[in-house]
Structure 1
């Protein structure tokens, strides 16, 4: 059967590689041991022998110093015999140390000569050994004789002769020290020569190891390619298919060319791809009814932490078109669907491009929201306000497209987009019954956004925003405070703002409008009705037809005729939704 054949092929590759590795390792071990032995000889014999010769010089100098201190002690008045006796012991001890250093150096040199497994200049080493022996003998003989003569002269009190003897001793010692120095120089040359040989052998061993490793690698690679070609070819096809699936290409399948395990795996892979195609079609279809990010979160529960319900601060947007219902009257069902789809697509584009979640369509109204985990908390209000600006711009363009879609020449000027935005705490999660669920948001912020969308009717505005939303949006958009309202269902006044446009894009007339409107609003709240009326009229002169200015001017006229109560707080209360 093929299963054992695949196992045998893999086992053959492993055995072949292990065999080549064993040969390479054995040769490398032999060469490494040889180099190691040479390094050991170099460090423990050559270098140590040179060290012993260097210490012979040091001990000789220390012996000369001890001899001078002996003479100094004997020349004092009265002579310091104890001092001289102590340094006499030092002198004799240093002489013994010189002997030991010389013997140690000779022993190491002879060990090098006796080791036939390493290269060395045995003739030169033998000459160095003889020279060490002669120097040691001369040091013992001549310096010993002069030392005895010096001590006898000191005992006899012959200071002049003692000084002459000391001078002869120094001269003789200098000559012997120079001979030791010459031996050290020749020994250092041998150390360097051995180091060169060792480095040469090490480089040779390295080159041989590299060559053997490369040879083993090449042979192993050829062996592996020869054996594994029959295995890897179908695996490559599977790999290419997997990469195609990873890239999202699910329209291809792999031909099954074998009946072995790989053939079975290929069949299973094709079945898996077919299942993925089916799931992708379901995902695409489902994604057109529910935002794909919500779909992804529902499919992968770990990515949607609030699916079971959680309180979060979110930004909610409601959008509607004024006059759309009356505009669609008399339109055929097919034409109405076409117009509705175009309108909803036009208005939904900015929401999606600004990473908002479209919650639902309610007739011609749109409900959307921003917030975690789909958008960062710090940017949700900014994105919603920017989306509102773009929706208002598209609404203006939509009015020019509607006649062609409806088959009429013109449409009423009342067809304008109205938007309400609010930021606040809501309940977010999967809400519904055991028969149908919807991942949505509920709460006061949702109600407030809906109310603000409807309040546009009263002020003739396009985009009304709660104070919390406009504050969180920062300097992304230009806005103006419209009024303080108590919407239906609430008792606390809510400061409401209107989005005018993107930051830095206002005209001089719009800036004039904002300034005059703010003056009028301030006068209105302090019951300075005449000042308020003049300010609102000035705002209308800057931008004729400004809805909020018209509404506030009419309200001022109403309050001039029928002033509010004494406890009036400047807020306007709405009884209807």
Structure 2
């Protein structure tokens, strides 16, 4: 409807104007009805009742006239005759005679005024008959009284008292007949008064009823109109509220139906555009969540200043690499290589994310990830990184079985295994790159050390090597073995490195014996007791044949036998190659 397509301001103004119009109509109708009642009441009080009063006074005037006539006769019959009193009584009689006619004439004028007034309803025929009856009664009475009065005055002058008494009796008879006629006219006039009164009361009741009905209709019409208009306002608001709750719950697939063209309709349209933008942003976030860790995306959204300014934090860095990848990839088609790598990254990324780590990037066949604030507490990061590394190595046997099936071959052309390096230290976090492309990453010595430790696994034949700071953070919550004191390329300060052997309490008896003999050999090795160290490392190899670190240390002892270390040798092994 066109009215619902108006602005809210026009709707509200329209409701107000509509209610004002209905109020005015009701008021005007009430005024018209009240004015009609007023006209009827005015006619009743100023015409009907005064006309009836004039007829009643006409009756009284006839009685007073008869009394004045008798007084005049009595004054004339006195002896000696009092002329002066007789003249006074005659003047009184003539005055009452005129008053009698005036009252009757006044009643007739009022009756004719009622008949002539077109604004009121009255029984004009009955009133006309009353007018004729009054005129006829007065005319007959006037004619008979004039004759009787003249005759009576002559008889009084002639002192014929017997004849005068007869004439008086005849005049009384005429007066009584006139009074009866006037009483009948008054009774009919009273009926008209009652009729007019009933008209006033009826019109008054009618005015009250009509005013009440019109007021009720105006209220109903106004309420319905206001309800329709307000529903046109509140319904979109409720839809908008429901849509807002859907958005608050993270559901962006329910746009709002735009049913009006007012400000709320414009707001609903803007809300739909916002939902579409949020849906697009969510798709972008989901898409980029495959390229950038979702927690990093959310963190940058919550604290964009971190990406701009950068922060220094203590974090734990993990590097993971697939050994044998180069020789394995040489015999694969690009499609097969992508298929293998995607599966490999999927399998190895799951433990990192399951332990709340952040995957920073994939580099060839390597994975770089990190743990630290604000994503996790600082005292948890080393343990979570270690647990993720253990779980990643647990996936290797299954992965070695799955890769041939993925490639459609019976056996892999080269064995594959996992090397993991973990280091804990202060790094710089922030967006690094050019103005055209940025990457939120971590940089620092701890990153370099983790990368070097991943490569050092090749030297010692291990899978998981961690730094001293990481080992301190883990404590006894994982089974660790100190491997060596090492100074990697690019770092002059040596530090102890450790191997993560298993979850707490998961070491076998052979592994326990291995760790004990290896620790004894390491102490003797650093003290230059190479024969004792050789015996300990051989004992470790007996416990776990093929132990990479033991074999590495035996190789060094053999090298020192041919070329002893310097007198100031501190037991640190320095790697010159990355």
TM-score class, shorter-chain normalisation, is: 0.5 to 0.7
The answer to whether the Cα contact below 8 Å between 1:298 and 1:307 also exists between their aligned partners in 2 is no
Instruction: Work out the CA distance in 1 between the residues paired with 2:448 and 2:10.
Output: 72
1:236–1:527 distance in 2 versus 1, CA, 3 Å: same
Match of 1:447 in 2: 448
The answer for the alignment partner of 2:472 in structure 1 is 471
Distance in 1 of aligned mates of 2:522 and 2:245: 64
2:8 to 3, 8, 16: 3
Distance in structure 2 (CA, Å) of the matches to 1:309 and 1:4 = 50
Quote the Cα distance in structure 2 between the aligned partners of 1:420 and 1:270: 49
**SS of the residue aligned with 1:305?**
helix
Alignment match of 2:299 (pick from 294, 297, 300)? 297
| 2:418 paired residue number | 417
8 Å CA contact 2:307, 2:440 repeated in 1 = no
- Relative to structure 1, is the Cα distance of residues 255 and 456 closer, same or farther in structure 2, using a 3 angstrom cutoff? same
* Deviation for aligned residue 1:5: 7.1
Q: Is 1:335 matched up with 2:336?
A: yes
Q: Is the 8 A contact 1:347 1:395 kept in 2?
A: no
**Which residue in the other structure is 1:367 paired with?**
368
Work out the number of aligned pairs and report it: 367
Whole-angstrom distance in 2 between the partners of 1:439 and 1:539 = 44
Please report how far the alpha carbon of residue 515 of structure 1 lies from its aligned counterpart in structure 2 after TM superposition: 0.9
User: By how many angstroms is 1:421 displaced?
Assistant: 0.7
Deviates more, 1:352-361 or 1:458-467: 352-361
Displacement of 1:411? 2.6
Residue in structure 2 matched with residue 480 of structure 1 by the alignment? 481
Alignment-derived partner of residue 241 in structure 1:
243
| Distance in 1 (alpha carbons) for counterparts of 2:313 and 2:10 | 61
1:511 alignment counterpart: 512
Partner SS, residue 368 of structure 2: strand
Helix, strand or coil at the partner of 2:306: coil
> For residues 421 and 456 of structure 1, what CA distance do their matches in structure 2 show?
11
Give the superposed CA RMSD. Answer: 2.6
Counterpart-to-counterpart distance in 1, 2:429 and 2:15: 56
- Report the counterpart of residue 254 of structure 1 in structure 2: 256
Alignment of 1:192-207 (within 5 A): none
Matched with 2:137 is none
| Per-residue CA distance 1:319-358 (angstroms, 9 max, x = gap) | 1011011112121111110101111111111111222221
SS of corresponding position for 1:410: coil
- The structure that has the greater radius of gyration is 2
- Equivalent residue number for residue 501 of structure 2: 500
For 1:540 and 1:283, the matched residues in 2 are separated by 51
In the alignment, the residues of structure 1 paired with residue 305 and residue 322 of structure 2 have an alpha-carbon distance, to the nearest angstrom, of 32
Query: In structure 1, what is the Cα distance between the partners aligned to 2:489 and 2:502?
Result: 28
Identify the residue that residue 165 of structure 1 maps to in structure 2.
none
Equivalent pair of 1:517/1:536 in contact (CA under 8 Å): yes
**For each residue in 1:106-142, what CA deviation from the matched residue of structure 2 results, as whole angstroms up to 9, or x when unmatched?**
xxxxxxxxxxxxxxxxxxxxxxxxxxxxxxxxxxxxx
Q: Within 1, Cα distance between the matches of 2:534 and 2:14?
A: 96
How far apart in 2 are the matches of 1:460 and 1:400?
Answer: 22
**Any conservation in 2 of the 1:9–1:227 contact (CA below 8 Å)?**
no
Q: How far apart are 1:496 and its partner, in Å?
A: 0.4
Q: Kindly state the Cα deviation for residue 445 of structure 1 after the two structures are TM-superposed.
A: 1.0
Give 2:400's aligned residue: 399
* Runs (5+) with no aligned partner, structure 1: 13-223
- Is 1:349 the counterpart of 2:336 in the alignment? no
Distance in 2 between residues matched to 1:11 and 1:379, nearest whole Å: 67
User: Could you state the TM-score of these two structures normalised by the residue count of structure 1?
Assistant: 0.60
- Once residues 546 and 334 of structure 2 are traced to their aligned partners in structure 1, the CA distance between those partners, rounded to angstroms, is 35
The equivalent residue for 1:569 is 570
Match of 2:181 in 1: none
**What is the CA–CA distance in structure 2 between the aligned matches of 1:225 and 1:477, rounded to whole Å?**
71
Residues 483 and 571 of structure 1 are in contact (CA less than 8 Å); yes or no, is this contact kept in structure 2? Answer: yes
Q: What is the SS of the residue equivalent to 1:435? A: coil
1:495-574 equivalences in 2 (<5 Å): 495-574=496-575
1:256–1:375 distance in 2 versus 1, CA, 3 Å: same
1:247-326 equivalent positions in 2, closer than 5 A = 247-300=249-302, 302=303, 305=306, 307-326=308-327
